[in-house]
Chain A
Amino acid sequence: MRDKPCQESRTHGRIPGAERRARGPCVVMECFEDIPCDPCHDACRQGAIRPFDDLNHLPEVDFDKCNGCGACISVCPGLAIFVVDETWKDDLAVVRLPYEFLPLPAPGDVVAGLDRSGRRCCTAKVIRVEKTKRHDRTAVVWIEVPKALSMEVRHIRVGGSARGLHEG
């Protein structure tokens, strides 16, 4: 029905490879389902997120143009966009993630790093919390995690914030 040349692989154009991640901060788009949505394209000032031919296509990133600015993180209604910087320190990477829970952590706080299933996989230090009018109440939290976990940690638990019963 539709022409889907960019979608041979669900991860190609959305998940940066190790070689790209070693070159500096870049976006990670965990958006693998064709739903009608395109605000990420409008948010990108680098021209790195290609225009959508069809609203239902997956976003496609030009990782040579993406500079990891993170302007797309808080505009994604699916909270599916992250920025990973594996050049932060020798052993530590930074993961920037969208966060819509209270209390917000503060820089310097130590929080639990959670993987995609909500299991605690490390402790993480909060580096920065972005929350301006542009973020429209979706804060972007920068956390420092072991480099090996940069592609695993996708959520945090701050103190007594809400959680499911089955968390690891």
Chain B
Amino acid sequence: MRTTEICVIGAGPAGLCAAIAARDMGARVTCVDSGDRPGGQLVKQTHKFFGSRAEFAGKRGIDIARILAEQIENDPLVELMLESTVIGFYDDGAIGIERDDALTFLKPARIVCATGASERMLAFPNNDLPGVYGAGAVQTLMNVYGVRPGKAVLMVGAGNIGLIVSYQLLQAGVEVAAVVEAMPQVGGYDVHARKIQRAGVPILTSHTVKAVHGTRTVEGATVWALGGDFRPIPGTEQHFQVDTVCLAVGLTPLADILWQAGCRMAYVPELGGHVALRDEDYETSRPSVYVAGDLAGIEEASSAMLEGTIAGLAAARSLGHSTPDFDERLAAARADLAALRGGPKGEKVRRGLDRLMRLGREVGVVA
């Protein structure tokens, strides 16, 4: 069976940074991703990033994907397996990889799992009509393949993803009829909301989709207002003539591999759902399995990169690799991560992480 020192599952922001950090320590790395190019969600993020210089603030996601990928491409220590899907985790620590309709096995000494997240669905009549999309699919169509999803869109969800994708729809020449948000306030950054508001897009807070209409595809959508108890208020219906409804109603960690590996999981709503208990180095209850990025708790790509760096450094060190700047680099990544999460917008994540670490201490995953 083929072996490697560290297998990184997922070549998104977290996985690429884990691979880079582990490689920098001198570890042999195999990075596996189901996509046809490295970068994960970064390849469709045409907007400039927030954060500080360490997280490439001010650079566009699409460019960060390239900068990160260039650091490992053609490196003899790193094997990048694209269009390859990890389909199983076996008791002996081997993983099964499907590529070109063939199954191969790889036995790594360490695994950094950075599989990201999947999008949440919303229940309403006709949510299965063609024309109802997840925001990720809309972004892929537009920003990766140059295809407009429709002519007029109703966006559901005013978190950062809903706001950013609305802006990118406008950039692609698509009309955005409105953004509806069930919460009484916009969840995403105020500056993202302002970008689309000044382009004329109304944001309807305390509103949700009542139903989508159409025979073969989406022809319109009805929204209605929500009361203080989140119950819809009859008589407040508004109709929008749109051919596309885009759902940006949250993400949930894509944790199948961790369940299969028998990692202790906990349901932490603030982190998006079930996440693995893990220590400060991002090692889970199953020794030698690490996590990073949205899989470890839904946050931004900037924090995913730092988590990847921490997990990559820690996994490589656990194999005996070392570099003179190890301590400095680990401390810097931890400090940058704390700074990113330090503001009022990081409050929910901080609360979720407190809970996760407390649960981890209770069962001995965290010392």
Query: How many A residues touch B, CB cutoff 8 Å?
Result: 44
Tell me if A162 and B172 are in contact (CB < 8 A). yes
Interface residue tally on B, bucketed by range: 35 or more
Q: Which residue of B lies closest to A33 (CB)?
A: B190
When chains A and B are docked, how far (Å) is the Cα of A168 from the Cα of B345? 32
Minimum CB–CB distance from B13 to chain A (whole Å) comes to 15
Residues in B neighbouring A167, C-beta threshold 8 A? 199-200
- The answer to whether B53 and A42 touch across the interface, beta carbons within 8 angstroms, is yes
Task: Check if A114 sits within 8 Å of B50, measured CB to CB.
Answer: no
Interface stretch among B87-95, B174-182, B266-274? B174-182
Interchain CB contact under 8 A, A114 and B199: yes
Contact between A54 and B339, CB atoms less than 8 A apart = yes
Chain B interface, >50% SS class: mixed
Say whether B196 faces chain A, with CB atoms less than 8 Å apart.
Answer: yes
Contact indicator A35/B343 (Cβ below 8 Å): yes
B191 / chain A contacts, CB cutoff of 8 Å: 30-31, 33, 35, 76-80
Residues in B with CB closer than 8 Å to A101 are 170-171
Given A80-B191, A114-B199, A114-B200, are A34 and B50 neighbors across the interface (CB < 8 Å)?
no
| B195 close to A (CB within 8 Å) | yes
Interface residue from A39, A42, A77, A116 paired with B197 (Cβ < 8 Å): A116
Does A150 touch B at the CB level, under 8 Å?
Answer: no
Task: Report B327-352 CB contacts with A as 1/0, cut-off 8 Å.
Answer: 00000000000011111111000000
Residues of chain B lying within 8 A (CB to CB) of residue A161: 173
Residues of A within 8 A of B176 (CB): 164-165
Flag whether B355 is at the interface (Cβ < 8 A). no
Given contacts A34-B345, A36-B339, A78-B192, contact A162 B199 (CB under 8 A): yes
User: At the interface, yes or no: B117 with Cβ under 8 Å from chain A?
Assistant: no
Q: Which residues of A contact B52 (CB under 8 A)?
A: 36-38, 55
Q: Does B304 contact A (CB under 8 A)?
A: no
Residues of B within 8 A of A (CB): 47-53, 57-60, 152, 169-178, 189-192, 194-202, 240, 302, 339-346
24 A-B contact pairs sorted by A residue (CB < 8 Å): A33-B345, A36-B339, A36-B340, A37-B57, A54-B342, A55-B343, A56-B339, A56-B345, A56-B346, A75-B58, A78-B191, A79-B195, A101-B170, A114-B199, A116-B197, A118-B199, A118-B200, A136-B48, A162-B175, A162-B199, A163-B200, A164-B177, A164-B199, A166-B201
